[in-house]
């Protein structure tokens, strides 16, 4: 059992809403396991409070995570941002270093690590559904690799806009299609990644694809992690496809943040089990 004392260092996550966040459970499991004198808390920070909160954390914290709705606006209050965060245009991890605030984005790296546990990326045809914040991180990270990306989104113009941005920044062409074409284009894909919130609690019966639409040879990844086994993953299993749930991405984005903050090799199994226990218990 760790003891909080006058030397305990602070890490935290800021967002609104924040009550549902599993980051405190995950990061505190690491501090406990490695006997590190840090604590990780969650703070509900409204949009109009962000500037004041960041000023305080510059003095009080060693680092913090940033979630909805602050991932883009936080950039205004930072001293530097990493190449990835600049490409993606959003920050989910801030390191306080020598009185400087440095922003990073570990979401895309986390997703790719989870994906590469089950499949290779090079030369693959990858279909991605969604063009929101998480999609941006994954699309930019994948665009740096040798793979063919097709993007579909309910609001089609958002997919077109994201593809245009990737082309301008990385000189990489990404195809776009209407969401209604998903069933058709999936037939030729090697990997499908759902980055939309379809299937997330409480709408757990929703799915973009049914078993009959899913080819057996495809790898299906769903980044939604509440529930862990989404309807999409159940349908993919029924079709005989390989599946990857959203827990891996969540754990790996957190592990990457710990590497940035503390330079440690995080015990990912401990992190995974802590989150899993919380998800099962909720």
Ligand X SMILES: NC(=O)c1ccc[n+]([C@@H]2O[C@H](COP(=O)([O-])OP(=O)(O)OC[C@H]3O[C@@H](n4cnc5c(N)ncnc54)[C@H](OP(=O)(O)O)[C@@H]3O)[C@@H](O)[C@H]2O)c1
Task: Assess 64 for contact with ligand X (CB under 6 A).
Answer: no
Binding span for ligand X by CB under 6 A among 72-80, 130-138, 184-192, 228-236 = 130-138
22, 26, 87, 134: which one contacts ligand X (CB under 6 A)? 134
Element of type H or E holding 27: helix 23-33
Q: Output the DSSP codes for 87-145.
A: HHT--SEEEEETTEEEEE--HHHHHHHHHHTT---TT-EEEEE--SHHHHHHHHHHHTS
Contact status, residue 87 vs residue 81, Cβ threshold 8 Å: no
Catalytic residue among 71, 95, 124, 172: 71
Q: Is 164 one of the catalytic residues?
A: no
Q: Please tell me whether residue 104 binds ligand X under the rule CB under 6 A.
A: no
- Token pair 């776009």 in the structure block, residue: 176
Could you give the maximum distance between any two Cα atoms of the chain, in Å? Answer: 60
Please return the burial class of 91, using the count of CB atoms within 10 Å of its CB with bins 0-12, 13-18 and 19+: buried
Question: Is residue 106 part of the contact set for ligand X (CB under 6 A)?
Answer: no
Q: Considering only 48-56, 151-159, 168-176, 273-281, which stretch makes contact with ligand X by CB under 6 A?
A: 151-159
User: Is residue 135 close enough to count as binding ligand X by CB under 6 A?
Assistant: yes
Residue 165 makes contact with ligand X by CB under 6 A: no
Using Cβ positions, the residue closest to ligand X within the complex turns out to be: 132
Cβ at position 252, least distance to ligand X in Å? 8
**Three-class DSSP category at 260:** helix
Is 108 a binder of ligand X (CB under 6 A)? no
* Binding of residue 229 to ligand X (CB under 6 A): no
* CA proximity to 212, closest of 230, 192, 186, 191: 186
Choice between 9 and 16, CB closer to ligand X: 16
Chain residues in the site for ligand X (CB under 6 A): 107, 110, 130-135, 153-155, 158, 195-198, 200, 223-225, 246, 249-250, 253
């Amino acid at each position: 059992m760790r003891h909080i004392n006058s030397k305990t260092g602070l890490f935290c996550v800021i967002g609104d809403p924040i009550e549902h966040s599993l980051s405190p459970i995950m990061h505190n499991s690491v501090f406990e396991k490695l006997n590190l004198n840090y604590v990780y808390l969650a703070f509900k920070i409204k949009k109009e409070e962000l500037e004041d909160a960041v000023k305080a954390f510059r003095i009080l914290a060693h680092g913090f995570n940033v979630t909805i709705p602050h991932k883009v606006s936080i950039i205004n209050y930072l001293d530097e941002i990493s190449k990835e965060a600049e490409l993606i245009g959003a920050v989910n991890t801030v390191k306080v270093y020598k009185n400087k605030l440095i922003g990073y984005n570990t979401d895309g790296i986390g997703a790719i690590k989870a994906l590469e546990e089950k499949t290779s990326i090079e030369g693959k045809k990858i279909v991605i559904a969604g063009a929101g914040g998480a999609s941006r991180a994954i699309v930019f990270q994948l665009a740096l690799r040798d793979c063919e990306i097709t993007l579909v989104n309910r609001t089609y113009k958002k997919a077109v806009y994201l593809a245009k941005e990737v082309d301008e920044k990385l000189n990489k062409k990404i195809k776009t299609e209407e969401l209604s074409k998903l069933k058709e284009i999936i037939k030729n894909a090697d990997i499908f990644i759902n980055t939309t919130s379809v299937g997330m609690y409480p709408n757990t019966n929703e799915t973009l694809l049914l078993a009959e639409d899913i080819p057996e040879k495809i790898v299906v990844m769903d980044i939604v992690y509440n529930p862990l086994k989404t309807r999409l993953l159940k349908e993919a299993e029924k079709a005989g496809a390989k599946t990857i749930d959203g827990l891996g991405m969540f754990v790996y984005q957190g592990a990457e943040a710990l590497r940035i903050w503390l330079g440690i090799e995080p015990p990912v199994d401990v992190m995974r089990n802590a989150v899993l226990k919380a998800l099962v218990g909720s």
